[in-house]
Structure 1
Amino acid sequence: MNKSAGVAHRVAGILLGSIATLSATPVLANDGGLEEVVVTARKREENLQNVSMSISAISAAEIEKLGISDVSQVAKLDASLIYDKGYSATDNRIQIRGLSPTRGRVNVAVLVDGIDTSSESISFGGGSLLATNKLLDLQAIEIVKGPQSALYGRSAFAGAIQYVTKDPSREFEGDLRAAYGQHGRYELSSSVSGPVNDDFGLRFNGVYWNEDGYYKNQVSGKTVGNGDGWGFALTGKWAGEGVSVKGRLEYTDDKFGQAPTAQLPVNSIAARPTAGSACITIGSGVVVPGSTCPAGTARVYSPSSAFYVGAGSNHVYSSFGEVPEADALAVKLDVDPLTGKDYPGSTRQIARASIVTEWQAAGGTFASLTGYTDAKFAFLEDGDFDSGVVNGVDKALRAARFDNSNTTKQFSEELRYRSDLDGPANFMLGYLYWQEQANQITRSINVLCIPPLPANVGFGPYPLPASCGKYTANQVMGLVSPIPRLNARGIKHNSFFGMLEFQLNPQWKATLEGRYAKERETVDGVNCSPSLNAAAYPGGPVAKCQDPTIPGLAVFGPSVVYSYPFINLTNPAAAPLGALQAPGVPVSLESTHQYFAPRATLEYRANERALIYLTWAKGVKPGGISTVTAGSWQDADYDGLYDEFSFKDEKIQELELGAKLTSESGRLRFNPALFFIKYDDKQVGAQLITPSGIAVGRLLNAGKAEVKGFELDTQWAPTDHWSFGLNYSYLDTKFTDFPFSSTSATDAVRVGSCERRFDTLQNAKLCFFNLKGKELERAPKSSLVGLARWQTPIGAGQGLKFFVEGDVQVQSKRFLDYYNTVVLRGYTEGSVRIGVNAPKWDFMVYADNVGNDKTVQTGNSNPGDVAQSLLDPTNFSPANTAGVRLPDPRIVGVRFGYRF
């Protein structure tokens, strides 16, 4: 035995020996023991235990039994996969191994039958509503971890989720399935499948679902979180000699009420750090005392006044610490001023078509994968997730609404050839063309009312009346005729990919993979109209984008209504302008990116039951121009450079050591993996103070970060009656370097300091920060998923099996933001199921979240405009708060299936 083989045998022995100490913690297992799990992770069907990568698979039986219908339910079955819900229905964030898509495109590719359907939201970070499409008629779900760009395409930066749909059956069959639970949660589905002739078969599946929601809007008393929808899929497959063609049509139509989002209450009122408000001398750094900065000096922001809560105090209002449980929070959403009712929420219609063709040739197989998606989204929602209604009286001076209509069209074509040679080497070569055009017509509105102000407070030496007159901010919004505006993103992607496998000897195998890609991105947005360029004061120089209702105040974005719509401050005798939005002019920007993403694997087959592998991979998430402008103009500071929303490529390198181990009896699988991820130029959001004095979001590349982790996926069926298992993830994450600069006092409070530089006037107007040592946002240190099942035959000779099973999901605390100021608490949530399986039917009673855990599991930072307006109506620095999604309560229900 050579030295390398001896080391590998010892490693295998250690890993196999550790099985003996495994505790019987529940996780998914197949009925009656461990059946072979077949996956298509490497573009071919293989036994899961023969694939040298970290991958989880969910079978059709588990999908039906657990009622899995979208990605949020998939995430409950894998400890490394986390699904977060953000601002709106189109803000969905999927992460693997702690790599959250704070900004930029998604980190996890979503594929259906090998076709990339990943997309990106227009107005928010994260994926669009395409990421949460209802899942129809699935044969399997595969979750692949680590950078997978070489095989899974343009979006598999941190991993991929692949949905494999069912083929038509060789014999006529069908089923009827129904589920009913508390709070009006029910689903009906049916499928029919069979051959048309010897070579061609068809399969049809239809579904209808409904949820009444679990929480009420305290402003209106109406339920939120409700929804309903329907869909169907038609699949046809022709299989001739050496050739197969699978075509699939799918359509879904869904409606969603506003989500049960609660705004965190303000629990901290902090003065602005004095380091940022000091007037420092350019060149020397000498601090000059005084309320105003003389020539030759500069400050970042004005100081906070003597501490008090009220107009002009300039304090920063925050929500710090642990997020309270659901019982301590409330959903408070403004009603639509045009109808007096709750905003309707969102709608989604998605049509998809695909053709997958394979044909055998001499020495290998050719494949063509063609995909087309045509999707429409619309959402009309409260835009600040809060309300100033107190005891029936609206006291808020700010209001917002999201009013968007989106269309997304995708087309892709992948061609590839995989060899099947008798020698030690085999290869695959392929080409991918992928394009998307996502358009959004937005009619969103943002109203900021200013209270009556005495002289020398806010805007000069003269007193000012209430800017909105007798109206509340929400009422003003109802008076606006919004200006429709186009925000759009177009992507054209071309890439070549390949894989080379070489069997070095019967035990050792090396694999090289890579993808070279080139993309062109076009972004359409809106800039402030030159018609608003005017002198800030009589006789002064011309300034950009001035609010015509108040001299010296700039309009920060196209959604904003003029500050004084009902009063003409410059000429009180003249008619006011009314509730109008600022006009804009379209702007189109373009960027191109090219990159190479390689992957290398060395695997050692100790015996037929033990595979050990070492993988190195690189992932690249292309930069570009963000469409997430936080309501500002595309050129937020009017300098013509468009640098506020431009960002560079995000890159990772990952080293993984793993094993696939099976006991001699075949009743135990034990698949551990260690990994180290090096992260460069993470795409994140920060703040920029525009000339209007309003802070808006911008894009940054956040230096460097590291992730050290361990995963374990194991299943154990000690007898025909019992099955156990465990899926576990441990993450140690930190930023190793995260320098950035900002003009925001809110950022200074988040960090707790403001480092100053005085070498140039520009630098003297900035705070310099470094978040080195902070943990990555949304990444829990520990996460566990488990299941235990007991089953026994009943009714002699009838094929009946009675079962009791339960699953549990345990997750440690995690930070909501990369400042590490807001904490999502750890939680434990479990479900139980009791039922009977028969050859032709199955029935079960289930209880999800059986312990009725109230821990908030997801949320997103937001400005907290309403709360701040109640505390300090003239403070335009955004608050440091968050909106969180309230968790589903305990749901008890039944599921029934009949097969024919």
Structure 2
Amino acid sequence: ISVNVITSQMMDRMGIKDLQDVTKLDPSLVFDRGFAPDDIRVVVRGIDNGRGRPVVATVIDGVDISSEALATAGASQLISPRLIDIERIEIVKGPQIALYGRTAFAGAIQYVTKGASEEPEITASIDVAQDGFHEARFSSSAPVTDTLGIRFNALVWDFDGFHTNTVTGNKVGGGEGHSASILFDWNPTEKLSVRTRIDTVGDEYASPAQAFVPYNTLRAVPADASWCNGGWVHDASCNGYAQALEMVMASKPSDGYIASGLYPFASPWYPLKPACPFPGCPIIPDADKVGFGSNGNQIDLETGTIYGGRFDDMEHWAIVGAIPDGDTLFVTQDINVAHPGNNKGSDMFGSKKEGERLQINLAYDLGVGTFSSITHAADMWVAQQYDIDKQSLDHFNQEWDVNGPVKLFSQEFRLQTESDGPFNMAVGALYWHEKKTQTSTGMSVRGMGERCFVSVLRDADTGDILSLTDLGPAYWQGPCGHTDINIREFQHDTYAARPPDDMIRDTVSSSLYSLIDYEFNDRLTMTFELRWVDEKEDLTASASQGLADGGATNSGASSVSLCGSHIRCDATGGAPGPGAPLLYLPVVVGCDTMTTTYTPGVGLVSEPCSWWAATPTRFAPTTRQEPLTFTIADNYVTPKILLRYSVSDNVMIYGSYAEAKKPGGFSTLGTGAFGFDPDGDGKPTETIYSPEAMKVTELGWKSMLQDGRLRLNGAVFFEDYTDKQTQVQKVFNG
């Protein structure tokens, strides 16, 4: 097999401290950090896990601890990125499922830890660098009795970070943490050996130093996602809702009822102005400007353009060309406004991880072979809090706030023969069970949007607009256009009304495997590997009930719309009484409407609001949520055959053929915004993905030349990868 071994001496000599450093020693490996600093993903030979479980197994002393993040694209969260007490690292390329477990779809990285020493030893190191970096390591080992040895390791580190959040003036990209392990090597007899290892880790990583890249052009969104239904608003091909809205908002009061079909002085497109220069004056239409905003010069905070009397939902900002140099960008991450904790009013805390691992490796010499038992249990608590949009905006906030446990248990039994003859084999069984729970209180709060309430009459044959009319003063809902507000004062209310929602993934995997090794002669050897896997995954998450409750769409548990599309953010209107002039009444965000009555001789009376929030859900998520569980199960076989030929004592060539499979599952990346069942049909059609499969043929050689001074290895391989997961955009109820 194609394997690269990095010894502890090499790691010390080359200053390898963490997982990212490891990938620098092998050209076929690429280190990829996921959504959080502890979401470790490794790409091998160009194969990556865009979604789902990792494609490269993370193995510690024979145990596959590869996990999968929920609602992000990250991978293993059970290993600390900082390495301690490692004896060697084995980087194995190509499918290795039979030997290294269920996750070794494209390869595996095994970390072999140091055992107890035969003589007492103590090592310690301290590293200090700029920007507040400090790291201290300590290791000691000694025999306790003739049959028992012990090793203890500890690590403490902290780092301020290189970059500064311009919003708060605090450093980002740093962190602090500690980890420790204690190991017992017990050999009560010559045949029995038991190694017990206990790890503990506590790492805190500040928010990554990520900056928002400014947009530089406008692009069209997919046709199904726009009211324009396929064309640009300013094109003749656009004959959807947007065309009607633009015609409404291009009108002026001077057009009058006869010309525009809209009620004079009560039409829904007029921009507003105070009726007098004194405080408390009513807001009235400004007859000198066209509509689409509270005033004719207001800037759309989403697009950065002047409203100017147009409604264009086909245009959205995008980036074209090269990404700007990092020196020209600034970190502008929002603060934690509403979530409780020591960081309230300051930077988002980033990510935290703390927990323990227990591993017991037992080996018993049967004479004709070795029986092994590997028991592993892990209990880790992970929390993350980030500013997702990487901007500090008044009208929009999108934040990530999750926490929960990851529990993993596995038990493996293996029997391996060790005869002097040409035939040897190994058989084994593995039970692997992971349960991950993630509680989310993140929020996506929006205080902006467009609203226009008119009636459109079209020609049944051509689709041309025949007339535009409002629905009269009794139904008037304010002028057409985009409005927005500062949402910060309402974020405490939205957090208080945001019910936590749990996402729970329960994965059970059972497998049987076998390896057969046969020596035809002193030079030629054949190895055949086979693993049978049976796996089941249950995933429970929040499903929006927006469509079921008669709404227009489904949205996730974190989505809150204060105002904009369902009600204007600055003013609304109503008829105070029969024959009375229509007045513009201010919206009190925190109210759904104002109770207004007209009494002869008294005049207009406005009473306090009877509803909380401009959003009909009283600051809560836009749609009701209910838990929903989907289940997927699969079983499969992954074979591999390998031929090795020793040309000489120092040169070996090999050829192999392997098949690998990565089971299907459920995509959880969009559940926060759209819920677990976006179209509301109770089926996992939108979130389920199929298994991935790969067939790999490889030819290679290994050699040690110049009396061991030169190592020359190489490989040529062909990967036939089918059904690879990729990201697509899908529109529901567009």
TM-score (norm 2): 0.77
Measured after TM superposition, the shift of residue 276 of structure 1 is 9.3
State the Cα distance separating 1:343 from its structure 2 match.
1.4
129 and 556 in structure 1: CA distance in 2 versus 1, 3 angstrom threshold? same
Aligned match for 2:142, one of 194, 216, 219: 194
Q: How does 1:232-631 map to 2 (within 5 A)?
A: 232-239=180-187, 240-272=189-221, 291-292=239-240, 309=305, 312-314=311-313, 315-338=315-338, 339-388=344-393, 394=394, 397-451=395-449, 453=451, 464=478, 471-480=485-494, 481=496, 482-529=498-545, 543-545=547-549, 553-564=552-563, 566-568=590-592, 574-577=610-613, 578-581=618-621, 582-631=623-672
* CA displacement, residues 629-684 of structure 1 (integer Å, 9 cap, x when unaligned): 34121111112222111011011111111100111522111001111111100112
Judge conservation of contact 1:450–1:467 (CA < 8 Å) in 2: no
Q: Separation in 2 of the partners of 1:259 and 1:179?
A: 22
Q: Distance in 2 between matches of 1:502 and 1:452?
A: 73
- 1:875-898 per-position Cα deviation (integer Å, ceiling 9, x unaligned): xxxxxxxxxxxxxxxxxxxxxxxx
**Residue 152 of structure 1 pairs with residue 100 of structure 2:** yes
Instruction: Name the CA distance, whole Å, in 2 between partners of 1:328 and 1:661.
Output: 48
**CA distance in 2: counterparts of 1:194 and 1:159, whole angstroms:** 35
SS in 2 for 1:554: coil
* Partners of 1:449 and 1:468 within 8 A in 2: no
In the alignment, what sits opposite 1:653?
695
Give how far 1:256 is off: 1.1
Listed one character per residue, the Cα deviations across residues 833-853 of structure 1 (whole Å, up to 9, x for unaligned) are xxxxxxxxxxxxxxxxxxxxx
In structure 2, what is the Cα distance between the partners aligned to 1:274 and 1:491? 39
Could you say if the C-alpha distance between residues 641 and 201 of structure 1 is closer, same or farther in structure 2, counting changes exceeding 3 Å? same
Aligned residue type for 2:198:
L
- Contact kept, 8 Å, 1:488 with 1:627, in 2: the verdict is no
**Counterpart for residue 683 of structure 2:** 641
Q: Which amino acid aligns with 1:58?
A: I
After TM superposition, which residue ranges in structure 1, 4 or more long, deviate above 4 angstroms?
A: 272-280, 305-311, 451-458, 460-471, 569-573
Distance, in Å, in 2 between the alignment partners of 1:169 and 1:230 is: 24
How far, CA to CA, are the matches of 1:275 and 1:378 in structure 2?
A: 37
478-487 or 570-579, larger mean C-alpha shift: 570-579
Q: Secondary structure at the match of 2:24?
A: helix
Take 2:455 and 2:356, find their aligned partners in 1: how far apart are those partners? 56
Q: Aligned equivalents of 1:211 and 1:412: distance in 2?
A: 35
2:556, 2:440 → 1: CA distance?
Answer: 13
For the residues of structure 1 that align with 2:675 and 2:71, how far apart are their CA atoms? 13
CA contact (8 A) 1:452 1:463 kept: no
Distance 2:70 2:224 in 1: 37
Once the two structures are superposed, residues 329-381 of structure 1 have per-residue CA deviations (whole angstroms, 9 ceiling, x without a partner) of 22110111233211122211020010111111131111111111100011222
SS of match in other structure, 2:727: strand
Residue 816 of structure 1 is matched in structure 2 by: none
Aligned length: 600
Q: Are the equivalent residues in 2 in contact too, given 1:55–1:144 (CA < 8 A)?
A: yes
Distance 1:214 1:275, change over 3 A: closer
Report the AA paired with residue 354 of structure 1: Q
For residues 164-183 of structure 1, what are the alpha-carbon distances to aligned partners after superposition, in whole Å with 9 as ceiling and x for unaligned?
11000001111111111111
Distance of aligned partners of 1:111 and 1:275 in 2 relative to their CA distance in 1, 3 Å threshold = closer
In structure 2, what is the equivalent of residue 127 of structure 1?
75
1:499·1:514 contact (CA, 8 Å) conserved in 2? yes
Post-superposition shift, 1:504?
Answer: 1.4
Unpaired runs of at least 5, structure 1: 1-52, 281-287, 294-301, 389-393, 533-542, 547-551, 694-900
Give how far 1:478 is off.
3.0
Whole-angstrom distance in 2 between the partners of 1:290 and 1:345: 44
Query: Structure 1 CA distance, aligned partners of 2:731 and 2:595?
Result: 30
CA–CA separation in structure 1 for the residues paired with 2:127 and 2:481 = 54
Q: Contact 1:121–1:127 at 8 Å: present in 2 too?
A: yes
**Per-residue deviation at 1:67?**
4.0
SS of the aligned residue for 1:686 comes to: coil
Paired position in structure 2 for 1:54:
2
Q: What are the within-5 Å matches in structure 2 for residues 837-876 of structure 1?
A: none
Per-residue deviation, 1:91: 3.9
| The one of 721, 729, 732 aligned to 1:679 | 721
Counterpart for residue 894 of structure 1 = none
Deviation at 1:555? 4.4
Amino acid at match of 1:351: E
CA distance in 2, matches of 1:203, 1:161: 23
Aligned match of 1:45: none
- Quote the Cα distance in structure 2 between the aligned partners of 1:330 and 1:156: 39
AA aligned opposite 2:684: Y
Contact between 1:222 and 1:342, CA under 8 Å: does it hold in 2? yes
- How far did 1:587 drift? 1.3
1:792-832 alpha-carbon deviations (Å, 9 max, x no partner): xxxxxxxxxxxxxxxxxxxxxxxxxxxxxxxxxxxxxxxxx
**What amino acid sits opposite 1:328 in the alignment?**
T
Alpha-carbon distance in structure 1 between the residues aligned to 2:424 and 2:487: 67
Please say if residues 268 and 320 of structure 1, whose CA atoms lie closer than 8 Å, have aligned partners that are also in contact.
yes
Classify 1:322/1:499 alpha carbon distance in 2 versus 1 (closer, same or farther; 3 Å): farther
Report the Cα offset of residue 421 of structure 1. Answer: 1.6
Larger radius of gyration: 2
Instruction: Structure 2: state its 5+ residue gaps.
Output: 231-235, 251-302, 339-343, 457-468, 471-475, 564-588, 597-608
- Identical amino acids, percent of aligned pairs: 31
Q: Which amino acid aligns with 1:363?
A: V
**Contact 2:452 2:481 (8 Å CA) reproduced:** no
**Secondary structure, aligned partner of 1:228:** strand
Determine the structure 2 residue equivalent to 1:110.
Answer: 58
Q: Which amino acid aligns with 1:612?
A: I
Distance 1:345 1:677 in 2: 38
Residues 700-739 of structure 1 correspond to what in structure 2 (within 5 A)?
none
- 1:260 is displaced (CA, Å) by 0.5
TM-score (norm 1): 0.63
